[in-house]
Structure 1
């Protein structure tokens, strides 16, 4: 893969992941005479690094002369040297040249008039060449302090290599020579240049390695002009490019050009990347290199392309249509040329794009033959890797064998938490392979389970529906109904049908107590179906009994988490005993994916219901579990992060929250049920930050999504924010129906613990609309239903709502008392935003009750209380509320303290304190991982801060940050 074509086409505006290498090379420029060797495989970024190096040299006042070798069948003698000297142009005439420089006239005919007269012919080829060498040395020496860059010397002919050795032997005082090459292809004489350096010449060898995942993400963000991309997208790019910068640039450019990337909230999300074309420049470069191989090595390259991934040498040799001895020699040629590379004990292409380029160039019969050979060789392996075997059997046309292998591969993938791979295998078989209805039913049930875990519910539901119409045994039909119901529920589509599927399945699931109990729990959800709360409770009671029959302890924990999840929003005090059983059985540290799911289920519902401390404990423990162990749990990790984003909003931990929510939403595109918590937090945060129009649109969207998903437990949080915004805009009448619908939906279902969050906003809207009696009735009715329930926010929220009712009735003193009581109740519940709102309202009511007596006891207490609320808003970053509180304070003659500049604010083109802290550590050479560990940040957040700091400082590399701080 050439990094020489269109050398000035630099897609990324910043150099990423090469700070240490660039710093060493820049230092060598000032240590002339010097040789800098930049070595690395094709596409690794040699040209980009030398570009940054020469820019630094030019800034330091050194002349830069650059030339490159080209991939030609018969390269021009001294081609890169001639190109470099030709770069002097008319300045050549300004140099003090000796007569020997006249020997260069044949090489530089367009500049001949600037050179001394030609010398007499010597009549000897070797002597003529020596004089030409002297002439080039004379020009370079006369140019003064110079950096001579000779790129791609792996394509150099003999004379260029000889000249570089001759030039270095001269040891010119002000000269730094920079050479680049691919180690696997370079002539040994070039590789030996460092060994022949004269004393006093500094040697700097720079070997470029592929970028890691974080660096690939930073490079992609720089190309796209955003602060960061999601970890998922960075991992995807790294997997497909193996960290080669050229491949990353080409792939991102292609994805953006073809609309495969869609921008959202300043970030970039992946969409439909499974069918990926190879970028043209990568394909052409790979095929050009393969074409240079001899026929046997070409057969080996074709076999490696069909195998796709690096494989043991024995498998590659068995797949290639060659005799063993010939195949081994051919593999050696492919390795020596750099077309293939060794990955530990395996052999394959450097990155998947290269393999795909060669594969797409093969004819169909040749592919079929090689897939058949690969399948036969893999089947003989012990044990045969089922995923690879299934792939080759399918493409070899051996369909019956394919179904067996694909089923085994899907089972293995699911066991290893590779849910997306299991879904892919099963979908392919159900669409393409012959099988009996019973086997199709079994495969479809497996697909239903994997698709939920992989977040692919909508795609799989269609297939399950089709199989359900076939002739199936009753137990298998029941399991398939259960799985389809789960898919529809997870996707948030056709929830009434999902509820009916669970109801139809439950009696025929006696052979699967785990699924039977799970179905009963779903039927016990007060958010699903049209049954009354008593029927939901009956289903839940039945489920508790069936759970005891399940032999798998991890699955018992999983279902106990679901039971507690149902109990929490209803305020049923027994949820605590259920949650305690989960904590006791897991020792407070979940390990299995089912146990992690239980922590997420309870933690998110604890957030909705106001049990913030417990929610923090459970979500944190669950997230820690997804990061440890041998198996990643990406779906649960993202769901837990989404829950944490909402919890951080509720707890007032807003530093960096908007950015983290935006990244998370990109990662969860297409998964509404997992995304909705983060969407709600982001929408509410936009209101608090004062972006009212954006907040209105976002709140409306997330409320509609919650309605679609029957998410009555989450709904009160964004509804309360929307009602507050409507009152502030004088539009209370327009949202009365929304307030009525919230109570009408929540109260009959018994979802009272979360709904109490919205009670103050409902009362405020009713009062603002002039219906004070209606507000009083609503608050009294709701409060009466809370008696005996475990609803931690109830005392605070009811007092808060009662304060609005009394305010509407003109009882300012009573309103102030109720608001103050609410603030006192909110504080220990880790609800600082609500506490500040209630404190502001209490202080305002007291100030209004004694407008002419600012020295009265109530007014004297009210002033400091209002300023305390203002300080709390500023600490949170709630600019909308801070602006309102500031206006009230000034209206009542209070002196408002100047904003503390060390707190949160917009920093414009200046670095924020956190950005500066990260930038200073980066300037000291710390890696992103080291910075993240030192500052207790995520690697993604560190990458975002560094990218932002580079943009604000106007630099293009991390190494340059130090010069601007």
Structure 2
């Protein structure tokens, strides 16, 4: 935690006191004292956002802290993450020795040439702009981490380009430990329904935050501002008109006060050395009797007219240029020589119309001021200045094409603007600044009656940017808006629809995307290679019987590629072919995946390799090849970063977390999923795996209501997904929970339709838990015929397949069919050994329990040892309910061994059994629930509950809170 600096307030250039924001400053400084932290400062134009950020920075700097500030502008040349890079360029004195800086920070060397010698060597050239963008994003985080305790302020984020917003979004989801991030913005200038950073971000665990909404100043605060600025000349009557003119907006009040202060100064100068006879200046009357309308426009215009001609010319040039500019650039646009330009600039600075916004760059104090002056310039003069700006800017060694396009647009020269804007966007793409490019493409597409070739070219370019973004919701909305354009050609519409469909299926995990892709395939008939891409995607769908057409789609795609060979699409076809082989449990897939090109110089081929590695790794988990899955998913995660496929990187991380849960690391994996949920709030796959895991752990601990809620949520999510395994897993888990409650009929209501889906998709190769649960349910209802037929179908489906997990489940089903016979023992034993070899301790313990029960009649000694083994494993995992069930089984089979005489006394502390009861009470369990979960009699439960309430000193509804408070005070057996 950092020390909170004092809040004395400062006086900026222009001489205005800091009033009315003490509480807000306290909030900001208190938040920044506890990094990592994100502070949002929101308010309308001129309300004081920048001043509040300045005061916070001054207080932090005064206390020995370090603050870096970057500004967003409405017109900005394409520099990747420009505002952030501007801020980092000021950090030379804060950098540690180069050997202490992460090597990944070297990716910023080309963007920070003045700091290149202080950074690690840059990495080898990236294979494409996407990989370079990812490197630079990682480089920014590494750079900030190396700085240690630092505050990064980014102002006017409502003007940030998409690339900068994406960087800030990712940074907010993975904050360096000692970073304070301050973002200022105008909420009213965001698109309706559009989050500040393009996607709703949630602070990750351990990241603090504060949101400050700035309201207008009160009348009293405006009066305090005037009294401080004007001293004795500010009479009480001035407060009301000044407040009414400004509506409490500090900037407007300050502009009025600058004008009034100048009148006081002129009055003092005129009467210097002579006896004043006119009395004091009546400032309130000056405001009330002003001939011009009230507001900012009047005060600025009055000061502008008071400037010498050269000053007016420089200010007008600055208003037209609209971005911070150097003195020579301003003078050239104003058509002044060096001497006149300097004279004019000094006059503009002296009257506070312009300010030095950066080293040797000058701009208006606020965007409102620029707009007022711009509107004051007569139309013909504005036109002349815009033309002159184009001439001057195009003569620069590297023409700032975004600015040139802006001036062409202001002139109404549509053709020139289209040409310059598209060129500027292409320049931005080449520089890795997808955000600026997307902004320009949106502006172009907003034009009516665009030439068809321009509209198609720009729409496809924008679609490619959106499809490779990190925020599913925003990117999908962008593509849908493009598709609404009735002027798109059929082929262009197909390209964009294909991007949207893949986005929906891959990012949104929604099979509705396949309908979009199928329509795209028809629209792309004139481009066989692109149509093949659509067909390849369609081959993945297996819902609603679509799996039967998978190889047909593949054959059609291969035929299209023979007509129009394309290396990237051939790689995509191979990736999907291997995915289908893995889905079917074809043992030949493993040698084929080893031959995939990992080092291709073609980025598209590399992306298809990454897709294949992820798909096969994901399927390896369902097949029961967990060690292969870990290797493939780890590799796909690394390659996804290289190939800039953000969603595949996230999917790989999610599956690796799922694998951690399957390996029994329940305590750590819950936290891991929570962190992933903060990072990827829009990914449906994450929600599925997280709810399934939470449900499994809850069921294992006897929290059945919570487990049912989680499984139902997973089932609802799974119904929209492209694969059948998610709804099958959820249905199997729900049915197993119903069976544990003794409700075979409810279990059957879940099992019967799920088995129909399983048969319809022929998804036998992938373990979902459905086959053994369905067999057990059918047997519980006396329907042995159904159970035997299902097991036979599963066995037929697994013949010649390399599927250890599904094979283990089939042995469980066969064991259930054979009851407690020798054959049952053999099947349960084989299932047990398979789960052990796969590496899933919970499934191994469940199979061991089944094995022991079947073994009890023929070999009670070994049965006892195996039940003890299962009970120990359940206890180790924290599976309270399963451990209690094993203990009850030992009793019911007469295998329970009594402990030595004498009971351990726990006094006022909870015994182990009472703690189990307390935990169940904390989750809302009834006495009946507790009896079923712990296999106790109702009277025993009543005794335990009474003891728990007495020892915790709490009512039943408060047990959870009391248990947490008691915590480590209880002695554990």
Q: TM-score normalized by structure 1?
A: 0.57
The 5 A counterparts of 1:280-429 are 324-325=341-342, 340-342=357-359, 379-384=394-399, 399-408=414-423, 411=426, 423-429=438-444
Verify the 8 A CA contact 2:324 2:362 in the aligned structure 1. yes
Out of 764, 769, 776, the position equivalent to 1:764 is 776
Q: Does 1:661 align with 2:673?
A: yes
Q: Is the 8 A contact 2:584 2:765 kept in 1?
A: yes
Q: 2:620 aligns with which of 591, 606, 609?
A: 606
Q: Which residue of 2 aligns with 1:131?
A: none
Distance 2:514 2:449 in 1: 33
Question: Out of 703, 726, 736, which is 2:738 matched to?
Answer: 726
Give the secondary structure class of the aligned counterpart of 1:340. Answer: strand
- Provide the rounded CA distance (Å) in 2 between the counterparts of 1:879 and 1:590: 50
Query: Aligned pair in 2 of structure 1 residues 389, 565: CA closer, same or farther (>3 Å)?
Result: farther
User: Equivalences for 1:889-908 in 2 at 5 Å?
Assistant: 893=896
**Deviation readout 1:157-205 (Å, 9 max, x if unpaired):** xxxxxxxxxxxxxxxxxxxxxxxxxxxxxxxxxxxxxxxxxxxxxxxxx
**Which residues of 2 match residues 185-196 of structure 1 at below 5 A?**
none
Decide whether aligned partners of structure 1 residues 19 and 544 sit closer, same or farther in structure 2, where only a CA change above 3 A counts.
closer
Quote the offset at 1:793 in angstroms.
Answer: 1.8
Deviation (angstroms), 1:825: 0.3
Q: Is the contact made by 1:430 and 1:443 (CA closer than 8 Å) also made in structure 2?
A: yes
Q: How far did residue 596 of structure 1 move?
A: 3.4
1:812-827 aligned within 5 A: 814-827=823-836
CA separation of 1:783 and 1:820: change in aligned 2, threshold 3 A? same
Q: Distance in 2 between matches of 1:634 and 1:561?
A: 18
| 2:860 matched residue in structure 1 | 856
2:446 — aligned with what?
431
Are residues 869 and 656 of structure 1, via their aligned partners in 2, closer, same or farther at CA, if it must alter by over 3 Å? closer
Shift of 1:798: 0.9
Counterpart residue number, 2:748: 736
Task: Confirm whether residue 705 of structure 1 aligns to residue 717 of structure 2.
Answer: yes
**2:171 pairs with 1:235:** yes
The Cα of 1:824 is off from its aligned counterpart by: 0.8
Q: Whole-Å Cα distance in 2 between the matches of residues 231 and 686 of structure 1?
A: 37
1:527-552 deviations in Å (ceiling 9; x for gaps):
2675562x421322343566688877
Q: 2:484 aligns with which of 458, 466, 485?
A: 466
In the TM superposition, residue 777 of structure 1 has moved relative to its aligned partner by: 1.8
Q: 1:563 aligns with which of 567, 577, 584?
A: 577
Aligned residue in 1 for 2:874: 870
Query: Larger deviation: 573-582 or 780-789?
Result: 573-582
Query: 2:56 maps to what in 1?
Result: 43
- Show the counterpart of 1:486: 502
> For this pair of structures, how many residues does the alignment match?
691
Does the C-alpha gap of structure 1 residues 812 and 793 become closer, same or farther in structure 2, counting only changes over 3 Å? same
1:579 maps onto 2:515 in alignment: no
Cα–Cα, structure 1 residues 49 and 586, in superposed 2: closer, same or farther, change >3 Å? Answer: same
Secondary structure of the 2:722 match is coil
Match of 1:832 in 2: 841
Q: Deviations over 1:594-639 (max 9, x none)?
A: 54344333332333333322222222223234556xx865444323
Q: For 1:352-403, what per-residue CA distance to the aligned partner results, in whole angstroms no more than 9, with x for missing partners?
A: xx97787788876789969988777655555445566666766776544444
1:441 lines up with 2:456 in the alignment: yes
Deviation at 1:435, TM superposition (A): 0.8
- CA deviation digits over 1:875-930, x for unaligned, max 9? xxx455455445556775358999999xxx9x99xxxxxxxxxxxxxxxxxxxxxx
| Aligned 1:564-713 pairs, distance under 5 A | 564-583=578-597, 592-626=606-640, 633-672=645-684, 676-677=688-689, 680-681=692-693, 684-685=696-697, 687-688=699-700, 692-713=704-725
Which residue does 1:773 correspond to in 2?
Answer: 785
**Equivalent runs, 1:112-151 vs 2, <5 Å:** none
User: By how many angstroms is 1:827 displaced?
Assistant: 1.8
CA distance in 1, matches of 2:805, 2:814: 14
**Shift in alpha-carbon separation, 1:861–1:577, aligned structure 2, 3 A:** same
| 1:11 aligned onto 2:27 | yes
Cα distance in 2 for partners of 1:664, 1:681 equals 14
TM-score, length-normalised on structure 2?
Answer: 0.57
Gaps of 5+ in 1: 21-39, 53-208, 221-229, 909-951, 954-965
C-alpha distance in 2, partners of 1:612/1:588? 30
After TM superposition, list the pairs within 5 Å mapping 1:160-199 onto structure 2.
Answer: none
State the Cα RMSD in Å.
6.0
Q: For 1:218 and 1:775, locate their aligned partners in 2 and report how far apart those are by CA, in whole Å.
A: 64
Shift of 1:829: 1.8
Going from structure 1 to structure 2, the CA distance change for 1:859 and 1:402 (only over 3 Å counts) comes to same
Q: C-alpha separation between the residues in 2 aligned to 1:280 and 1:400? A: 43
Matched, 1:516 2:528: no
1:788 matched to 2:788: no
Deviation of residue 791 (structure 1)?
2.2
Q: CA deviation at 1:518?
A: 1.6
Shift of 1:427: 4.0
1:708 shift after superposition:
1.4
Match of 1:749 in 2: 761
Give deviations 1:420-450, integer Å, cap 9, x for gaps: 6655544443334541344333333334333
Q: Tell me, what secondary structure is at the counterpart of 2:719?
A: helix
Residue 836 of structure 1: CA displacement? 2.3
- 2:482 and 2:181 map into 1 onto residues whose CA distance is 42
Q: For residues 219 and 657 of structure 1, what CA distance do their matches in structure 2 show?
A: 34
Are the aligned partners of 2:625 and 2:804 in contact in 1 as well (CA < 8 Å)?
A: yes
Q: Deviation at 1:569? A: 1.4
Distance in 2 of aligned mates of 1:699 and 1:298: 70
Q: Residue 462 of structure 1 aligns to a residue in which SS? A: helix
CA 1:784 to 1:18, structure 2 compared with 1: closer, same or farther past 3 Å?
Answer: closer
**Structure 2 unaligned blocks of 5 or more:** 1-6, 11-17, 37-52, 66-142, 155-165, 218-247, 260-302, 905-909, 920-963, 966-973
Residue by residue over 1:234-292, the C-alpha shift from the partner in whole angstroms, topping out at 9 and shown as x without a partner, is 735999xx9766657999xx99x99989898997999xx9xx998879x9677888887
Partner in structure 2 of residue 537 of structure 1: 551
Distance 1:827 1:210, change over 3 A: closer
Aligned to 2:446, the other structure's residue is in SS state helix
Deviations 1:28-64 (A, max 9, x none): xxxxxxxxxxxx9532272799799xxxxxxxxxxxx
1:823: how far off?
A: 1.8
- Please, which of 492, 501, 507 is the counterpart of residue 519 of structure 2? 501
* Compared CA separation, residues 18 and 711, structure 1 to 2 (3 A): closer
CA contact 1:45–1:245 (8 Å) conserved in 2: no
Q: Deviations over 1:52-93 (max 9, x none)?
A: 9xxxxxxxxxxxxxxxxxxxxxxxxxxxxxxxxxxxxxxxxx
Equivalent position of 2:293 in the other structure: none
